[in-house]
Amino acid sequence: MVMGGIEAVEKRHPEFLYGLENGRRKSKGAKVCYLEGTDGIKVVKQLNIGAKQAKFIGELLTYLNGSGLTPELLRPESGAAYFWFKGGRYFVTRYLPGRPAEYYQLQDLQAAIRSMARLHRLSEDFLAAYPRWRLSLKFEPVQVWQSRLRELEICRERAIRFRQNSWCRQYLRFWYFFWLQALKAVEELRSLPARRPAVICYHDWAFHNLIINNGDAALIDFDYALVDDAVHDRANLIGRYLRLHQWSNEALLKALWNFDRIYPWRAGDLRRLRIYLTFPYEYWILGRQFFLERQPWSEKYFQDQWKRKIADIEGRNQTLELIESLE
């Protein structure tokens, strides 16, 4: 499109978009901006996802409008999934009152589980109405994990080349252990029979993505949503909860029991949960960020991430053993 065309499109946009530079930002450098107007507060988020994912999220949020699970999505007059403004894509939603979730509070964990159950239930209808998304966003864990196994091997080669770095030496010390866990997860999942139809997994149950209001949790960021077995989402939430509670047996049993009370387990779910938790996602992603993406973060940042997400290897192993005993 020629520059004149872009300018013409921008002139048709609501005036509030031109206040982005002066809006109240979520945090320094954040791509989320709050704009106040006569009809309330709008949340404007700049997207760093592709057009296909943005269209999917736009259709999903529109489908979920009124459910209480998500903020109301405001679409352009054209009906597009997002606004195009000054060369970028933006979602615009109504502001949701409430506070971020706090997983130290049991009621917030319970609210998250209730929201997950509703999302999965509603997503079955959404995928039936829009079957193309079931195919285009389907997560194939065996294929994806095999690709990540290869990345682990590349990261090992690069760590050997830079072993003078203390973080690289630490990464190498535990590489074979985590590589074996990844291989075990791939082989065990491949041996399982086919499952029931997949659902939309939110896939990012970080506390700040859940807004708690009157005991219910709304979800505000679907950038990482995918289509997979519901256990994928359960593992994402439970894994975060267990890291927060140092992988304690008490925390695991509390999470399992609350799920069973709110969103009951089905036959075979616990085994799949263990397999999803076995794949060393945090070790893989941290190595990928350091060796492949070469993110410009300090070594202290990587060390802090290691201590927070990876260091408690013994506690994590005990958790996996306990789940296996319950299968």
Please give the pLDDT value at position 33. 82
CA atoms of 95 and 310, how far apart (whole Å): 35
The answer to pTM > 0.85 is yes
CA atoms of 220 and 120, how far apart (whole Å): 16
Map tokens 């997994």 to a residue. 201
CA 208, distance to chain mean position in Å, is 11
Q: Mention every residue, 6+ apart, whose C-beta is less than 8 A from residue 77.
A: 12
Beta bridge partners of 200: 227
* SS3 annotation, the chain: CCHHHHHHHHHCCCHHHHHHHHCEECCCCCCEEEEEECCEEEEEEECCCCHHHHHHHHHHHHHHCCCCCCCCEECCCCCCCCEEECCEEEEEEECCCCEECCCCCHHHHHHHHHHHHHHHHHHHHHHHHCHHHHHHCECCHHHHHHHHHHHHHHHHHHHHHCCCCHHHHHHHHCHHHHHHHHHHHHHHHHCCCCCCCCEEECCCCCHHHEEEECCEEEECCCCCCEEECHHHHHHHHHHHHHHHCCCCHHHHHHHHHHHHHHCCCCCCHHHHHHHHHHCCHHHHHHHHHHHHCCCCCCHHHHHHHHHHHCCCHHHHHHHHHHHHHHC
The pair of structure tokens assigned to 82 is 């997002």
Work out the number of other CB atoms within 10 angstroms of the CB of residue 135.
Answer: 9
CA atoms of 237 and 15, how far apart (whole Å): 39
Alpha carbon separation from 66 to 63, 80, 81, 215 (Å, rounded): 9, 19, 17, 17
Per-residue pLDDT in tens (0 to 9) along the chain, 327 residues: 333 333 333 344 555 565 555 555 554 445 788 888 778 888 888 888 888 999 999 999 999 999 999 999 988 888 888 888 777 888 989 999 999 999 999 999 999 999 999 999 999 999 999 998 988 899 999 999 999 999 999 999 999 999 888 999 999 999 999 999 999 999 999 999 887 779 999 999 999 999 999 999 999 999 999 999 999 999 999 999 999 999 999 999 999 999 999 999 999 999 999 999 999 999 999 999 999 999 999 999 999 999 999 999 999 999 999 999 999
Please give the pLDDT value at position 4. 34
Work out the number of other CB atoms within 10 angstroms of the CB of residue 257.
Answer: 10
CA atoms of 9 and 3, how far apart (whole Å): 10
CA atoms of 270 and 266, how far apart (whole Å): 8
